[in-house]
Structure 1
Amino acid sequence: MADATTAERPAGMLTVKDYKSDQKPVWCPGCGDFGVLSATFKALAALQLPKHQVVVVSGIGCSSRSPYFMSTFGLHGVHGRALPIATGLKLARPDLTVLVMGGDGDLMAIGAGHLPHAAARNIDITCVMMDNQTYGLTKAQASPTSFIGQKTKSTPYGVIAKPLNPVLFALVYGATFVARGYSARPNELANILVEAIKHKGFSFVHVQSPCAEFYNTYDYYDQRVTELPPDWDRHDLKAAVELALTEDRVHLGVFYEGERPVYELQARQAAPGVEEFDLATYLKENFS
């Protein structure tokens, strides 16, 4: 596996700096999303992915600003629709590396209906969900992953609904790569992202990414996160589901990795009569 934490690279190779755009992140000081962005840069550099071959798709939210800060191609879409946009993109251009970056609100609330289908189809994209248990962009309302008892501007007496479990969600709907990282451990997260991007199929990476401004959970996670044991069997789906249900510790690492045909390949095999053509040439020949 490529080491995402390698500091020096031979001349001519892409570095972390090459993947940074000229736009400075505008997140609040201490935002966990800085760690996720840093880990993403490290993963892309470790894989030496050409910038023009990478597309980052997002919806709406603090974390969804990520495409602006990367020198790859990017698309900042509408709220909750990053996954269907990315699916269409991968079907049209299966040669591209497609990443979806969003938050717990964008991907588990308004966009939650798309996650089961992306996982079941096994479309070859990597979905990175930054979870801060709140709607930070709109100043701290309860999100689908907010803790029971959590007081927010929309739940002044405390959340009473059981929070959704993103890792369990991805596992039961058929994602073939499911992992969890922590934004305060960007090097470990970068290595997880390397594996997720290399995986052929739908990869879901749940990242605990605290909101330092409205719901600071750094101390909470620092006391509870633990790495999966070295002998963990990532091919045991039942064990992965059981681990995802545990509540005493927050496990980090690759919960599960499976293998089955990717959707975009099956779609092309199902319609062998469809030929590729250059749209620009077609328009010039027929409409100029």
Structure 2
Amino acid sequence: MNAPVKFETTLKDWETDQEVRWCPGCGDYAILKAVQRTLPQLGANPANTVFISGIGCSSRFPYYMESYGFHTIHGRAPALATGVKLANPELDIWLVTGDGDGLSIGGNHMMHVLRRNVNIQIMLFNNEIYGLTKGQASPTSREGTKSPSTPLGSYDRPANPCAFALGSGARFVGRGFDVSKNLPDVLKAAHAHQGAAFIEIFQNCIVYNKDVFEDFAAPKGAEDRQLWLVPGEPMLFAKGTKGIALDTQKLALTVVDVAGDNWQDAGVLVHDATNRSLAHLLVEMPFGPFPMALGVLYDDPRPTFETAVIEERARSSAGKDANLAKLLAKGQTWTVEEKAQQSDGHPA
């Protein structure tokens, strides 16, 4: 495939004439603007860009992007995105889904697009609720969540989207939240990755699950509750006074205090985004005792699915004549001839 040509656009070039219709205060507005600001920085071409969504509040996204797009059916966006990528591998494809659309009815499709490593960017908006269908508990809703489908409180253990992605074979896993100034950096890293790039984006549902992420996303004191991971940089938070180290006896992460700049003496880990075992530990860190791990958690590319398909097609067609008429006439064929008839009308 040819190297992409950088295209000059502005945020306005990515805005459509459609009225953006989410609930006032919905986190989807912030995510939309983050994407529209990021694409010009990537040099993306609207004529070569496709947004594909399933069903849910997040899935209105293609209407608001001045590019090509599909608003598909519940849970099947990964299957549609795979087909589009195989039909035209040069297209830059972004898949937009939610925690219900992508992890419930669409969980099987999500697993397969990740394990196949189709070269697309997957943004999963996680508001831990079914917003479009009026607030039922979703696969990521926390235990105790009261909703129309769980009036006494949910007793399901919630799914962890990033752990699901890693378990499905994803080679890129990132995490951010709707109003974070660092979200565009995660989107850029995902776009640079060759293969299926999975980004979980925590998104505030102002109506049915308001402020559920305030424990780590609120601006005041955020530095104490957020661990922004940068490949090659030490895992420090709380203005550098705390860090993440490895308890070698328990093979588990632990929080350590850091005196001054002596993070190395405290045993603070340097983030290695290619370390899959470390990524598993990071996505499973329980918030509260630990900060919320954000940024690029895992990034270790391997050959993409569509590259393998293209190579297989080339091998199978090498030296062959692409002639459909010859192909249809080849093999067991015969000609039906009209039989001569006797004078009485019966066959001779």
Decide: shared fold, TM above 0.5.
yes
Partner of 1:201: 195
Q: Which amino acid aligns with 1:135?
A: Y
Aligned: 1:228 with 2:229: yes
Q: Deviations over 1:112-149 (max 9, x none)?
A: 00122111111101100000011111110000000000
Deviation at 1:218, TM superposition (A): 4.4
Q: Distance in 1 between matches of 2:317 and 2:27?
A: 44
2:101 to 87, 99, 106: 106
Q: TM-score, normalised by structure 1?
A: 0.88
Q: TM-score, normalised by structure 2?
A: 0.73
Aligned: 1:171 with 2:166: yes
Question: How do residues 101-180 of structure 1 correspond to structure 2 at under 5 angstroms?
Answer: 101-180=96-175
Question: Which stretch of the first structure deviates more once superposed, 12-21 or 74-83?
Answer: 12-21
Contact 2:202–2:213, Cα closer than 8 Å, also in 1: no
Q: Distance in 2 between matches of 1:147 and 1:274?
A: 52
**Structure 1 or 2: more helix by fraction:** 1
1:270 to 293, 303, 312: 312
SS in 2 for 1:271: helix
Count of residues in Structure 1 that have an aligned counterpart in Structure 2: 264
Q: Distance in 1 between matches of 2:11 and 2:201?
A: 20
Q: Which amino acid aligns with 1:126?
A: Q
Deviation at 1:274, TM superposition (A): 5.0
Q: Distance in 2 between matches of 1:160 and 1:218?
A: 20
Deviation at 1:50, TM superposition (A): 0.8
Partner of 2:246: none
Aligned: 1:51 with 2:52: no
Uncovered stretches (5+) of structure 1, i.e. residues with no partner: 1-11, 276-281, 283-288
Partner of 1:40: 35
Contact 2:177–2:217, Cα closer than 8 Å, also in 1: no
Q: Distance in 2 between matches of 1:154 and 1:191?
A: 37
Distance 1:274 1:145, change over 3 A: farther
Deviation at 1:220, TM superposition (A): 2.7
Q: Which amino acid aligns with 2:73?
A: V
Deviation at 1:13, TM superposition (A): 2.8
Partner of 1:257: 299
1:72 to 62, 67, 70: 67
Q: Deviations over 1:209-264 (max 9, x none)?
A: 01011111242332544322633111111000011111123211000001211000
Q: Which amino acid aligns with 2:156?
A: A
SS in 1 for 2:34: helix
Higher relative contact order (CA closer than 8 Å, sequence separation 6+): 1
Question: Which stretch of the first structure deviates more once superposed, 110-119 or 86-95?
Answer: 110-119
Q: Deviations over 1:129-188 (max 9, x none)?
A: 000011111110000000000101110000101000000111121111100011021x31
Partner of 2:284: 245
Q: Distance in 2 between matches of 1:34 and 1:103?
A: 15
Q: Which amino acid aligns with 1:236?
A: N
Q: Distance in 1 between matches of 2:216 and 2:136?
A: 20
Uncovered stretches (5+) of structure 2, i.e. residues with no partner: 1-6, 219-224, 235-270, 319-323, 325-348
Partner of 1:8: none
Partner of 2:333: none
Partner of 1:9: none
Partner of 2:83: 88
Question: CA-atom RMSD, angstroms?
Answer: 1.6
Identity of aligned residues (%): 39
Q: Distance in 2 between matches of 1:190 and 1:167?
A: 18
Q: Which amino acid aligns with 1:264?
A: E
Deviation at 1:24, TM superposition (A): 2.2
Q: Which amino acid aligns with 1:29?
A: P
Q: Distance in 1 between matches of 2:55 and 2:28?
A: 14
Q: Hey, which bits of structure 1, 4+ residues long, moved more than 3 A? A: 223-226
Partner of 1:6: none
Q: Distance in 1 between matches of 2:12 and 2:185?
A: 18
Partner of 1:192: 186
**Is the radius of gyration larger for structure 1 or structure 2?**
2
